[in-house]
Structure 1
Amino acid sequence: MFFKRKPITLCRACRENAKLAVVGKVSPTHPGPFHTSEFELIHCPRCDSVYLSPAPTDDDLRVLYEESVQFADDHYTSEEQVERILDYYRGAVRHRRLLPGSQARVLEVGAGYAWVSRASKDSDSSCHTVAQDVSGECAEKCDWVDQYHVGSLDTLPTDEKFDLASMTHVIEHLVDPEAMLGAISRRLKPGGKLFVTAPYRPTGWKPNMGIDAWKNYSYLHVPAHVTYFSRKWFDQVAPRHGMQVVHWDARHEDGQAFELVLQRRS
């Protein structure tokens, strides 16, 4: 199967010129009055990322995140699921050495139920946790968060620097992920870490395989998931904002999701 190649143009993900390829057409998987029902997945060979085109508009994002309920089902609330989630994040905090010591400052971006904040508190109760989300759906449900800010990150009223920041299943939702990396990097202390989890791609998918695997991919959320990233993308983009990859693992969920740690250079 061959891609439909486009003329050399600017990749929206890495902002470099490349011969982009159309993986195939996809339809909305979420109900809503979106600005279009015609989307394509685009692959960039320069950064090996796949992204949705066209990108969702501000109105689309408002429908998805501010005018809908996201965290009400058992996937987020059952006791068994909560324990599974926390067990994973506690392990990540410990095994990836995300906290530098006592009195650590933790910033969770797009926090939802603020699992990383909770796992950090479980690991060291002396850490100070700040959670941010554009939706207030979970703001009153996370008593392990010292400060829960509802609004965009740039409206968070603090100049403090953090030892750890996290985006867990958040970066794929962003229309301008590089801008968010820069904004977070500026809030990290030298040597501070950014922990990221996100969808990767369908199990075993390669750029010459076309669209079929994507249509059965559990993480194909249209238009909510804007970009499916690669290690190559982070290696290209993170250094522009003073960060580097120190951990990458794309084996999660049979290769369908990845875990990443970026570190701000001293």
Structure 2
Amino acid sequence: MFFRRQADTRCRACGEKSHLSTVGDVAPTHPGPFHTAEFSLILCPECESVYLDPAPDTDDLRVLYEESLQFADDHYTSPEQVARILEYYGSAIRNLGLLPDRNARVLEIGAGFAWVSRASKDASPSCTTVAQDVSAECAERCSWVDRYHVGSLEEMPQMEPFDLASMTHVIEHLVEPEAMLRSVSQRLKPAGKLFVTAPYRPTGWKPGKGIEPWKSYSYLHVPAHVTYFSRQWFTRVAPRHGMRVVHWDARHEDGQAFELVLQRN
């Protein structure tokens, strides 16, 4: 049974007052060290997001992203896996109409190996690709990126606006995701698109099922994954920053991950 909090508690994800409820307690899945070993998952019925409480602090983020290697195993580098990744992103670019025919400008946020940039170059060799990541781990390994910025998006110099921005398995890591949407919107052309993929829920999970399905969920990464978003969250929050939902699909990986496209007004 959930622990029901006060009616006027404000949701950290959407900012609305809500009857927040505790799904249950979860332990770190990364060795750390972190500022606490006691985390909970919180559900907001207003935006239907599930988020980690407390959020990771600045020191936690440094341990996760500056003091750890993220792309060291074959999951990211084997030829078979690379082919699967590029097939998926190439299909998304084609089927969702993410790029104009020529001279597109692509911004990949939290890029890592910058697979969307690579698939964009394959689909449209005339496109310009810019990648951003707080880590330099992959910066010298992406010949398909025209410019790789190491540092925060806010620190990246202003440049000509983009036709497409992407955050693939990135937004769930952000402590302030709405601030990121605002920053991305400011860098998109009118009618430009933001392509997002991220974890969603354990297969078939509903609030009444409690915490147990989360404990075996492959995307439960504590404290790296801060928020598990919903369509409702994007429907509420994106218009605050001049964007709207034009595509949502939460059927990926048997309902465990979603695919989203936002378009700037």
- 2:4 equivalent to 1:5: yes
Deviations 1:228-260 (A, max 9, x none): 000000000000000000000000000000000
Separation in structure 2 between the aligned mates of residue 240 and residue 117 of structure 1, nearest angstrom: 28
2: CA distance, partners of 1:144 / 1:41: 38
CA RMSD of aligned residues (A): 0.5
Q: Is residue 21 of structure 1 aligned with residue 21 of structure 2?
A: yes
Q: Distance in 1 between matches of 2:157 and 2:244?
A: 27
Query: Partners of 1:99 and 1:207 in 2: how far apart?
Result: 38
**1:160: how far off?**
1.6
Whole-angstrom CA distance in 2 between matches of 1:100 and 1:21: 44
Q: Tell me the distance in 1 between the aligned counterparts of 2:208 and 2:58.
A: 32
Matched residue, 1:211 = 211
Give 1:208 deviation, angstroms.
1.3
Secondary structure at 1:88 match in 2: helix
> Distance in 1 between the 2:2 and 2:157 partners?
46
Shift of 1:100: 1.6
Question: 3-state SS of the aligned residue for 2:140?
Answer: coil
CA distance in 2, matches of 1:106, 1:205: 35
Give, in angstroms, the shift of residue 202 of structure 1.
0.1
CA apart distance, 1:207:
1.1
Matches within 5 A, 1:36-51: 36-51=36-51
Aligned residues: 264
Question: What is the alpha-carbon distance in structure 1 between the residues aligned to residue 236 and residue 2 of structure 2?
Answer: 24
How many angstroms apart in 2 are the aligned matches of 1:126 and 1:158?
21
- Structure 1's unaligned 5+ residue stretches are none
The alignment partner of 1:263 has SS state of strand
One-letter amino acid matched to 1:216: S
Aligned pairs for 1:1-266 (under 5 A) are 2-8=1-7, 9-265=9-265
SS at match of 1:30: coil
Amino acid aligned to 2:114: A
TM-score with structure 2 length normalisation?
0.99
Q: CA deviation at 1:146?
A: 0.1
- Inter-partner Cα distance in structure 1 for 2:101 and 2:264: 17
Aligned-partner Cα distance in 2 for 1:135–1:189: 27
What is the rounded CA distance, in whole Å, between the counterparts of 1:199 and 1:259 in structure 2?
A: 9
Three-state SS of the structure 2 residue aligned to 1:41 is strand
**Cα distance between partner residues in 2 of 1:99 and 1:262:** 13
Provide the secondary structure at the position in 2 that maps to 1:63: helix
Structure 2 letter corresponding to 1:150: V
Instruction: Measure how far apart 1:158 and its partner are.
Output: 2.6
Runs of 4+ residues deviating >2 angstroms: none
* CA distance in structure 2 between the aligned counterparts of 1:101 and 1:17, rounded to whole angstroms: 44
Distance 1:168 1:206 in 2: 24
- After the TM superposition, which of the residue ranges 224-233 and 149-158 deviates more from structure 2? 149-158
* CA distances 1:62-107 after superposition (whole Å, capped 9, x unpaired): 1000110000101001000000001000000100000022000000
> What 5-or-longer segments of structure 2 have no aligned partner?
none
SS where residue 217 of structure 1 aligns? coil
Counterpart residue identity of residue 50, structure 1: V
Q: What are the superposed Cα offsets for residues 150-186 of structure 1, whole Å, 9 maximum, x if unpaired?
A: 0000111133200000000000000000000000000
Q: Is the partner of 1:10 in helix, strand or coil?
A: coil
SS of match in other structure, 1:236: helix
